[in-house]
Amino acid sequence: MGKYIILLGPPGAGKGTQAQIIAKEFGLAHVSSGDLFRENLKNQTELGKLAQGYMNRGELVPDDVTIAMVKERISRPDCAQGVLLDGFPRTPAQADALEKVLAELGGKVSCVPYISVAPDVLIERLSGRWTCPACGNVYHEKYNPPKSAGKCDKDGSELIQREDDKPATVERRIRVYMEQTAPLIQYYQDRNLLVEVDGTQSIESVSQQMLAAIRKG
Ligand code: ADP
Ligand code: AMP
């Protein structure tokens, strides 16, 4: 049976950064709903065009299309060993839908590491974030710089700053998180799946605590 892990935390907490490390360690597929939307946007699919306005405003894409997109993705063969979900679920309705989809696939969520970081730190993290448009690897100009300035360590691509990492949009995204996603902390606490990790530590310390939590979970 597959292992299903949900990375919970506000935008900029370090979910994508940790996902790369954890997915490799456990041989899980890394499924980021944000990456899936950005891929659709790049390819100008109907879904991408629909999502664009919401993303640019820092709002959530409606539940029905988001759930359908993630359901299709986690049903593919490369997800049979399990999935590390990053950025999904983001609402209680998405969490309920996920429970149903996993039951159909014969699985269930085994652990929900929650990376906690205060809002002022998030703003600094997101405004210094640089992303590789080719492989999705994330960097920070101060905390996790690439070896060669402006270039991805993995494939040498020119790094870019995300449209929605502008200060006004970042603030909106954090507000949306507080209102719509933060209730999931209690949701997974009630199911005894939540493990809180202090996300203000170094990337290495956060990884170590998360790996330990997942091994136990
Ligand atoms: P999320 O996927 O949760 O939005 P990211 O993984 O993209 O967050 O991280 C946001 C930014 O913070 C990136 O620039 C990343 O390099 C940086 N970052 C991630 N974890 C840490 C950490 N523990 N300490 C300092 N900076 C970090
Ligand atoms: P992220 O890469 O996780 O920061 O997501 C970027 C943007 O994609 C968000 O601000 C939302 O507009 C959209 N998005 C990503 N995941 C979801 C989700 N689970 N539900 C709704 N919208 C999402």
pLDDT < 50 regions, the chain: none
Beta strands in the chain (DSSP E): 3-7, 29-32, 82-86, 109-116, 129-131, 138-140, 194-198
Tokens found for residue 177:
């998180």
> Which residue from 131, 154, 128 is spatially nearest to 143, judged by alpha carbons?
128
**The pLDDT value given to residue 1:** 64
C-beta of residue 33 within 8 angstroms of C-beta of residue 54: no
Sign of the dihedral through C-alpha 105, 212, 15, 151: negative
**The pLDDT value given to residue 11:** 97
The set of protein residues with a Cβ atom below 6 angstroms from ligand 1 is: 9, 11-17, 125, 128-129, 138-140, 143-144, 199, 202-203, 206
Q: Convert the pLDDT of each residue in 69-87 to its tens digit.
A: 999 999 999 999 899 999 9
CA of 73 relative to ligand 2 center, distance in Å:
15
CA of 41 relative to ligand 2 center, distance in Å:
12
Q: Is the CB of 87 under 6 A from ligand 2?
A: yes
Tokens found for residue 188:
């997974």
The pick from 61, 115, 132, 169 for probing ligand 2's pocket by mutation, whose C-beta has the most ligand atoms within 8 angstroms, reads 61
Can you tell me which residue has the tokens 């902390």?
185
CA of 114 relative to ligand 1 center, distance in Å:
14
Sign of the dihedral through C-alpha 46, 139, 110, 188: negative
Number of neighbouring beta carbons within 10 Å of residue 121 = 14
Domain boundaries along the sequence of the chain: 3-117+181-216
Task: List all residues 6 or more positions away from 19 whose beta carbon is below 8 Å from its beta carbon.
Answer: 7, 30, 32, 84, 86
DSSP 77: G
Interatomic CA distance for residues 210 and 131, integer angstroms: 23
Q: Which ligand is nearest to the CA of 92?
A: 2
Interatomic CA distance for residues 167 and 12, integer angstroms: 12
Task: List all residues 6 or more positions away from 143 whose beta carbon is below 8 Å from its beta carbon.
Answer: 125, 128, 203
Class of domain 3-117+181-216: alpha beta
What is the reported pTM?
A: 0.96
**The pLDDT value given to residue 2:** 75
Can you tell me which residue has the tokens 């929605």?
164
Residues designated as active site: 15, 90, 129, 162, 173
**The pLDDT value given to residue 128:** 95
Atom of ligand 1 nearest to the CA of 200: 23
DSSP 8: B
Q: Which ligand is nearest to the CA of 125?
A: 1
